[in-house]
Each structure stands twice: as structure tokens, then as C-alpha cells.
């Protein structure tokens, strides 16, 4: 009996101490690709899932229940031999304290994703050089996801992981790969991590922490105070957007949070509603009609 208890304890402790960081759902959509042989997409999906979920990305200790919930949807538009042309939608979430609600932290659509893959290829990542654009992109987003999660729990806590993503960008630029280049696009992988590491967005990242840890996580204990903390930080979004118009880090925040912000401020005071609609519409005028819903709520 003692031996059984010891074995169960050892199994539990080992699982706790060495649990990986990500719990990532992977989908491959190949509807746009003609042909009857779809097995390569099933194999690719399994390989990507194992690469993301079985790899230890940090030195931190995660319990299984603490793994970061995230998803990647890869939409393949063309296959030419071993070459794949695709888009990738990346999203991550984190639980709100003392509730059943999960808040979206990151929601990003990458339109420039091409890679080579042979069925049953083993996916490997070399930290000092880019040998595969597939694993480079997957690793980049793994670190971005972890960075966003850490930023939501501690002030600027994601910096080491954004730095890892930035290192991958630098290596990829040396390999002359698309989607990584400076000034190639304002919405590519370079632009995103450049924003996150830019001193101009430090206050935004601090607001990101306050929004989640001092706002959402406090909703169940004192809703009015929690909402007031979020309202107090909203001008940071406008200031950051005016300093760097159409910055991807701000637009991706709103892509993740638009519905959530409407729900939060729909229950606010008249002044909170008015200020929130004014600021959000200024930052993201294309969604003004959505924000107007805040004023119409009782």
C-alpha cells in the first residue's frame, strides 16, 4: 500500500513539475486545396500539435491545470510539392479569477505564412538558426502567447518571452523569409514584436496587466471598483494610438477585447459609458457602431 501511494505521489509530482506551458488546439483547413490525398494535412496537424504541446518553452513550473489555453487555425490555400501557402489565426485565453469566464488575451491573423513540409517530417527548432520557417513561426507564436499570458499576471512579466520571439525575428530576417521583415508590413510578425518591445508601448503593457489583474480578476469581489480601474486606463489606448497610428499591438488588443469591453461598460455609470465610447471610437472608428451599444444599455 505504501509503495502504491509513493508511486501515485511520484506520478503526480512529476506531472506537476514538468507540465508544458501550452495546451494548444491545432486545426488545419485544406478546403481550398484540390486533390483526394488529405493524409498529409492530418499528419501535419498532429506534428504541429505535438511540437507546441510537448515542448518545454520556459524554465517555469506549470501544473496541468495552469497550461495556457490557445488555438492555431492554419488555412492552407495552395500546395506545390512540399511547399505550402497558408494563413494562420492564433488566439490565446486565460481564466478570470473566481469565475468560469475565460478572457481572450491575443487574437491575431497572420496572412503571410509559407513553409515546406514532407509528410512524417520531424519538427525541430534550432535556437541559433532558422532551418524551417514552419517551426520558426510556431515557436515565435508560442513565445508571444506565453508573453501575453505573463503580462496579464505581472507588470511587464512577458518581456523575456517577447525577447525570445524577437530573437526568432532577427534570425528569420537573416534568412530572408517573408513575414519577418521590417517595413514589409505594419501587421506582420516583425511589427507585432517590435511594438511589444518598443518603449512607446510600455504604458499600454502596464495597462494590459492592470486590465486583467486589477480589473477582470477583481470583478467578482467589487465590480464597480474593477470597472473603474479599467476605465481609468483606457486613455492609454488613445495615447498609444496617436503616438503610433494603427499600431498592430493596439488593434490586436481591440480585436480580442471589443465584445468584452462592450459588456464591461454596458453596466457602467453614465460617465464611464460616455468616456469609454468616446475613447474606443477614437482608437477604432470602424467599430463605432459596436461601441454605441454601450450607450443604449440600461
The answer, yes or no, to whether residue 282 has pLDDT greater than 70, is yes
The answer, yes or no, to whether residue 10 has pLDDT greater than 50, is no
Q: What is the pLDDT of residue 266?
A: 97
The stretches of the chain forming alpha helices (DSSP H) are: 2-18, 39-54, 133-153, 159-174, 189-197, 202-209, 223-233, 235-243, 248-265, 270-283, 288-296
CB-based contacts of 255, cutoff 8 Å, min separation 6: 107, 108
Which pLDDT band holds residue 77 (cuts at 50, 70, 90)? very high
pLDDT digits (tens, 9 = 90+) for 79-109: 999 999 999 999 999 999 999 999 999 999 9
Question: What cell does 1 get?
Answer: 500500500
More confident residue, 111 or 36: 111
Is the Cβ–Cβ distance between 110 and 179 less than 8 Å? yes
175: β partners: none
Q: What is the pLDDT of residue 19?
A: 77
Q: What is the pLDDT of residue 18?
A: 55
CA gap 148, 131 in Å, rounded: 26
CA gap 36, 103 in Å, rounded: 39
The answer, yes or no, to whether residue 67 has pLDDT greater than 80, is yes
CB-based contacts of 22, cutoff 8 Å, min separation 6: 52, 53, 57, 67, 68, 70, 142, 145, 146
Of 3-7, 118-122, 146-150, 151-155, least confident by mean pLDDT is: 3-7
Task: Report the predicted TM-score, pTM, of the whole model to 2 decimal places.
Answer: 0.92
- Laid out side by side, the sheet with 83-95 consists of 22-29, 68-80, 83-95, 102-116
pLDDT digits (tens, 9 = 90+) for 126-184: 888 999 999 999 999 999 999 999 999 999 999 999 999 999 999 998 888 889 999 88
Q: What is the pLDDT of residue 5?
A: 37
pLDDT digits (tens, 9 = 90+) for 179-216: 999 988 999 999 999 999 999 999 999 999 999 999 99
The answer, yes or no, to whether residue 14 has pLDDT greater than 50, is no
Q: What is the pLDDT of residue 127?
A: 84
Q: What is the pLDDT of residue 11?
A: 40
Q: What is the pLDDT of residue 85?
A: 96
Task: Report the chain's mean pLDDT, rounded to a whole number.
Answer: 92
Q: How many residues does the chain have?
A: 298
Question: What cell does 91 get?
Answer: 488566439
Amino acid at each position: 500500500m505504501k509503495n502504491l501511494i509513493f508511486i501515485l505521489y511520484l506520478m503526480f509530482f512529476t506531472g506537476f513539475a514538468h507540465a508544458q506551458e501550452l495546451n494548444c488546439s491545432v486545426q488545419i483547413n485544406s478546403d481550398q486545396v484540390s486533390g483526394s490525398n488529405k493524409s498529409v494535412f492530418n499528419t501535419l496537424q498532429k506534428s504541429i500539435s505535438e511540437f507546441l504541446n510537448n515542448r518545454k518553452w520556459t524554465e517555469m513550473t506549470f501544473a496541468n491545470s495552469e497550461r495556457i489555453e490557445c488555438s492555431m487555425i492554419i488555412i492552407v490555400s495552395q500546395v506545390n510539392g512540399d511547399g505550402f501557402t497558408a494563413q494562420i489565426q492564433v488566439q490565446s485565453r486565460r481564466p478570470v479569477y473566481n469565475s468560469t469566464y475565460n478572457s481572450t488575451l491575443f487574437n491575431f491573423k497572420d496572412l503571410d505564412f509559407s513553409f515546406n513540409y514532407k509528410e512524417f517530417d520531424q519538427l525541430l527548432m534550432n535556437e541559433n538558426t532558422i532551418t524551417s520557417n514552419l517551426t520558426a513561426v510556431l515557436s515565435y507564436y508560442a513565445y508571444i502567447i506565453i508573453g501575453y499570458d505573463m503580462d496579464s499576471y505581472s507588470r511587464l512579466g512577458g518581456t523575456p518571452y517577447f525577447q525570445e520571439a524577437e530573437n526568432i525575428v532577427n534570425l528569420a530576417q537573416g534568412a530572408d523569409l517573408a513575414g519577418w521583415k521590417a517595413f514589409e508590413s505594419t501587421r506582420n510578425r516583425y511589427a507585432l514584436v517590435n511594438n511589444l518591445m518598443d518603449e512607446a508601448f510600455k504604458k499600454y503593457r502596464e495597462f494590459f496587466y492592470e486590465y486583467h489583474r486589477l480589473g477582470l480578476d477583481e470583478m467578482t469581489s467589487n465590480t464597480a471598483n474593477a470597472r473603474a480601474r479599467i476605465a481609468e486606463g483606457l486613455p492609454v489606448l488613445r495615447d498609444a494610438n496617436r503616438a503610433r497610428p494603427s499600431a498592430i499591438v493596439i488593434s490586436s488588443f481591440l480585436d480580442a477585447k471589443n465584445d468584452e469591453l462592450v459588456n464591461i461598460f454596458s453596466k457602467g455609470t453614465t460617465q464611464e459609458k460616455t468616456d469609454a465610447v468616446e475613447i474606443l471610437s477614437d482608437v477604432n472608428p470602424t467599430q463605432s457602431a459596436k461601441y454605441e451599444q454601450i450607450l443604449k444599455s440600461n
